[in-house]
Amino acid sequence: TQKVSDREKFGLEMDTVICKNCGLMYFNPRPTKKMYAELNRADYRIAASGTDQGTDEFFKKQKDFARTKIVPFVSEHLGGFKPMSFLDVGCGCGGTAAAFKEAYEEIELYGVEPVLGHGKYAKEKAGISVYGGLFEDFETDKRFDVIVYTQTINHTLDPRGNLEKIRELLTSEGVLFIGLWDLVNALLNRPLERMAEIYHPYIFCSETIKFLVKKTGFDIVDCRERVLD
């Protein structure tokens, strides 16, 4: 590995390294699971947006993006199959789930959200059944036709384990949607410190996320990249 930065977005002294073989970037050493759980309960959203409570603005932002981007993308690849169950890993304020409810009225909505104020808002605003905690601790006997995992995989301490768990939670016709910042595109007009932050223990580019997705048993049916403005 090669160290590329010794400071993250909020000014904390943390070493970011890159694997010379595959291009994956990550913190070394990484904070512990206990530390992340505590940060997610309050500090994270306060630092990122000034509050750890759900807001109408964040809900609308999620819903608008899901309505115009995620729902059409997923629906295109369902092949006429009508999804009845939906899980949003890192559901935030529930806007994404609300957009899917508009598209599929009978769909059951579930979410996982470690920021408790956001999970509470999502439950009240969108009627989602929300598990308040880390996805690593989420347990259920349910299986889901659609799982959305957007702007979340960078936050986990175990990306491979999470994807393997998601694969087990999908139905046989299920679709997984992953959305994330592409490091390479972002760095065209953003300094590295804008991407390296304590809540992103791993930082993926297009090549590294595709490799991991295939490694965990998924078939990639489509991939669209957008250069950030």
Q: Which element (helix H / strand E) includes 110? A: strand 108-112
Residue 47: CB atoms within 10 A of its CB come to 15
pLDDT reported for residue 51: 67
CB neighbours of 56 closer than 8 A, spacing ≥ 6?
Answer: none
Ramachandran assignment for 48, one of left (phi > 0), alpha (psi -120 to 50 degrees), beta (any other)? alpha
pLDDT reported for residue 77: 92
pLDDT tens string, the chain, 229 residues long: the values are: 889 888 887 788 888 898 888 888 898 988 888 877 777 665 555 666 666 788 999 999 999 999 999 999 999 999 889 999 999 999 999 999 999 999 999 999 999 998 888 999 999 999 999 999 889 999 999 999 999 999 888 888 899 999 999 999 999 999 999 998 777 666 666 676 666 777 788 888 888 999 999 999 999 999 887 655 4
Angle of CA points 207, 17, 155, to nearest 5°: 65
Give the rounded distance of the alpha carbon of 75 from its chain centre: 19
pLDDT reported for residue 6: 87
For 145, half-sphere exposure in the C-beta direction (CA atoms, 13 angstrom radius) is 17
pLDDT reported for residue 114: 87
pTM of the model: 0.87
